[in-house]
Amino acid sequence: MSDVTYTAEAGDEILRVENLKKYFPILGGFFKRPVAYVRAVDDVSLSIRKKETFGLVGESGCGKTTLGRTVGRLIEPDSGRIIFKGMDITHISQKEFRGIRRHIQFVFQDPFASLNPRMTIKDIVGEPLVIHTNQSDSEIEDTVLELLEVVGLKKEHLYRYPHEFSGGQRQRINIARALALRPDFIVLDEPTSALDVSVQAQILNLLKDLQSEFNLTYLFISHDLSVVEYMSDTIGVMYLGKLVEVGEAESVIAETLHPYTKALFESIPIPDPKFRGKGAAIHGDVPSPINPPSGCRFHPRCPHAMDICRTEEPALKGDSSHLVACHLY
Amino acid sequence: MDTVSTGDIEKLLRVNELYINFYTYEGVVKAIDGVSFDIHPNETFALVGETGCGKSVTARAILRLIPTPPGKIEGGEILFNGVDLLKIPEKEMLEYRGKKISMIFQEPMTSLNPVFTVGDQLVETIALNQKVSKEEAYNIALKMLERVRIPDAENAMTKYPHEFSGGQRQRIVIAMALSCNPSLLIADEPTTALDVTVQAQIINLMNELQKNMGTSILLITHDLGVVAEMSDRVAVMYAGNIVELGTTSVIFEKRYHPYTQGLFNAIPVFGKGKQTRLEEIPGSVPNLLYPPPGCRFHPRCPHVMDICRKEKPELIELEPGHYVRCHLYR
């Protein structure tokens, strides 16, 4: 379908996703056979450059989380290719993938669910080191202490349990664990959505500092456009399993092309009463990804829908700094 | 201390020096520490603050929905059209709850019963509260669904809640809450569970209904964007206190209290391009089992003085109708 990929200059690239698909079966009937599929990620291609933050935005159910997890093989893709540092990791065995996994780490949304309540902070942050390295216990303790300092926690936190920490502190623990193996690439899946705004600012700033300190590349997944704008160099917008627009952050925000992206941006409530009453940009809800609309998936809600939109799926087009999948262009 | 009075404007609701504690195994949580505000007829009043600041507890106290025990209203008045809701017997509360004051919650699915059709639930509510026949109730229900723009309302009446999307469910809940023409609608994070494009639709709908029906809205939210879109006046809450109260335009423009300033500087604003670094409020919200003495914000405040550690500041009227609780402005 879409042969054009959002490409970075060669050599600069750390991760490349080509025509990735992930359909989740819905089982039904007596034999529990698949009766339908949720098309969570449907033919998505993108490329992420070293040391950049790639922001992936979209509303619930658009497939952004599935895409993030598939990249780290937490979910196995159905088809397409994932190329990490020039190596095709789509189909290598889990055993082989172990060596790669230390370079791809995750931070999840819920800082309460992602820490084992029965483990101390030392064991949580040190676990990746136990699995992937041959460090002795005292070496691991030194590394963990270093990591805690890097994320702004203290020495006395080492033998405490997760319940003794606030949400923001727990997210710092998650970040410390993700950093333990000195990865190149971190998938941040809504890392601040469960946090209060004053704490969110602390975590976002911490993530930015760590990125420049350790030369990290981020895939930053969020539904909060303001946060994505603050963090990202490149922005990709997803709608119902499709990447509809992708490009340099400034270009996507200042020269928005896709009608869905426009609607999304216009819907954000601006914290200034002078801009009140812009009105709702689009009507209706996101359709079910089980039977997505034919042609362009946005056409039933699109103010510019044409005949071609109902029948033909638009491909991603444009110059390499800004691509859009829309028949208007 | 009769602080927040708004002079001659008539008041629909007046919360006066409200104190609420929760008695838990670990100790007494001092959740609400002397909260006072008024809501005028036909206005949207927002309570804004972070998790645990007491905004939802305050809202629930108005309808006497605080579970007792562990919660206990220790003092204060909640005057609705001059009647103290904290003094009347439980039976009389039924005249207020759902009729004169109704409430909508964050997650619409929790307010809808999954085993009854939307029509059944609407008709039941209306028949019970307005003492009309089932047929009349059906007609009112249909009209309400049309009013909140549920497509094909007649058909929608026969459907179950799970057949609707999140945005439509919230529309149905709004229809139910407004069916009895209440004078006050308490909306607790009404758009937090919704996607932005749907949130924009619900905000529009609520603003429009508020204008047409003349209902006052008490909006509870943590989102300053939603506050700016909907409210006429705002109270900023921190750790059980109102720290700043005034008209939305003045609060957004001036921000006197250090916490209000911190809150605004901590949020990334969309469309500002590559921004300068976000300002952080150091530390986190205090545990209200052991609230800090004096001003509850003092451990995180950049302008903290000696007096802040000892004495709780009073609400001071800095401009007409604009109040701040901070020793900086004594």
Please tell me whether residues B140 and B222 are part of one structural domain. no
**CATH (domain of B191):** 3.40.50.300
Provide the domain count of chain B: 2
Averaged pLDDT for residues B7-25: 84
Predicted local distance difference test score (pLDDT) of residue B45: 95
Q: Is some CB atom of chain B closer than 8 A to the CB atom of A212?
A: no
Please tell me whether residues B214 and B299 are part of one structural domain. yes
Residue B83 lies in a domain: yes
Of B163, B181, B199, which residue sits at a domain end?
B181
Predicted local distance difference test score (pLDDT) of residue A193: 87
Please tell me whether residues B74 and B188 are part of one structural domain. yes
Averaged pLDDT for residues B80-98: 90
pLDDT in tens, A58-71: 988 889 999 999 99
Q: In the predicted model, is pLDDT for residue B275 greater than 70?
A: no
Asked if residue A260 lies in contact with residue A293, where contact means CB atoms within 8 angstroms, the answer is no
Of B147, B181, B215, which residue sits at a domain end?
B181
Please tell me whether residues B86 and B210 are part of one structural domain. yes
Residue B66 lies in a domain: yes
Q: Is some CB atom of chain A closer than 8 A to the CB atom of B211?
A: no
> In terms of Cα–Cα distance, which of A322, A252, A305 is closest to A57?
A252
CB contact under 8 A, A201 and B278: yes
Of B150, B181, B212, which residue sits at a domain end?
B181
> Is beta strand B184-188 parallel, antiparallel or unpaired with respect to B216-221?
parallel
ipTM of the complex: 0.83
Please tell me whether residues B282 and B140 are part of one structural domain. no
* Closest A-chain CA to B53: A196
Q: In the predicted model, is pLDDT for residue A2 greater than 60?
A: no
What gap in Å lies between CA B255 and CA B272, rounded to an integer? 20
Domain containing residue B123: 110-181
Query: What are the residues whose beta carbons fall under 8 Å from the beta carbon of B153, sequence distance 6 or more?
Result: B142, B145, B146
Please tell me whether residues B324 and B189 are part of one structural domain. yes
Predicted local distance difference test score (pLDDT) of residue A156: 87
Of B222, B228, B279, Cβ closest to residue A269: B228
Residue B73 lies in a domain: yes
What gap in Å lies between CA A241 and CA A40, rounded to an integer? 5
Asked if residue B234 lies in contact with residue B248, where contact means CB atoms within 8 angstroms, the answer is yes
Per-residue confidence band for B1, with pLDDT thresholds at 50, 70 and 90: very low
- Spell out the alpha helix ranges (H) of A233-317: 249-254, 259-267, 307-311
What's the predicted TM-score (pTM) here? Answer: 0.87
pLDDT in tens, A178-224: 999 999 999 999 999 888 888 899 999 999 999 999 999 999 999 98
Residue B28 lies in a domain: yes
* CA of A264 vs chain B CAs: smallest distance (Å): 6
Please tell me whether residues B55 and B192 are part of one structural domain. yes
Please tell me whether residues B175 and B56 are part of one structural domain. no
What gap in Å lies between CA A38 and CA B209, rounded to an integer? 37
* Closest A-chain CA to B168: A285
Residue B85 lies in a domain: yes
Q: Which residue has the tokens 């409020």?
A: B281
pLDDT in tens, B155-210: 999 999 998 888 889 899 999 999 888 999 999 999 888 888 888 888 988 998 89
> In terms of Cα–Cα distance, which of B234, B242, B201 is closest to B326?
B242
Query: What are the residues whose beta carbons fall under 8 Å from the beta carbon of A133, sequence distance 6 or more?
Result: A181
Predicted local distance difference test score (pLDDT) of residue A111: 85
Please tell me whether residues B190 and B169 are part of one structural domain. no
Residue B2 lies in a domain: no
What gap in Å lies between CA A196 and CA B95, rounded to an integer? 37
Please tell me whether residues B211 and B295 are part of one structural domain. yes
- Spell out the alpha helix ranges (H) of chain B: 55-62, 90-93, 108-111, 118-130, 134-147, 153-156, 166-178, 196-213, 224-230, 248-254, 258-266, 306-310
Please tell me whether residues B195 and B130 are part of one structural domain. no
Please tell me whether residues B48 and B78 are part of one structural domain. yes
Q: Which residue has the tokens 């954000």?
A: A268
Residue B105 lies in a domain: no
CB contact under 8 A, A205 and B277: yes
Task: Give me A74's structure tokens.
Answer: 């937490």
CB contact under 8 A, A276 and B229: yes
* CA of A191 vs chain B CAs: smallest distance (Å): 15
CB contact under 8 A, B197 and A200: no
Which amino acid appears at position B325 of this protein? Answer: R
Determine which of A2-11, A168-177, A289-298, B230-239 has the lowest per-residue pLDDT on average.
A2-11
Q: CA-CA distances (angstroms) from residue B241 to A8, A128, A222, B43, B115? A: 51, 44, 32, 22, 41
Per-residue confidence band for B6, with pLDDT thresholds at 50, 70 and 90: very low
Average pLDDT over chain A reads 89
Residue B313 lies in a domain: yes
Q: Count how many pairs of residues, chain A against chain B, have C-beta atoms within 8 Å.
A: 137
pLDDT in tens, B104-124: 988 887 889 999 999 999 999
Of A167, A229, A270, Cβ closest to residue B225: A270
Per-residue confidence band for A319, with pLDDT thresholds at 50, 70 and 90: confident
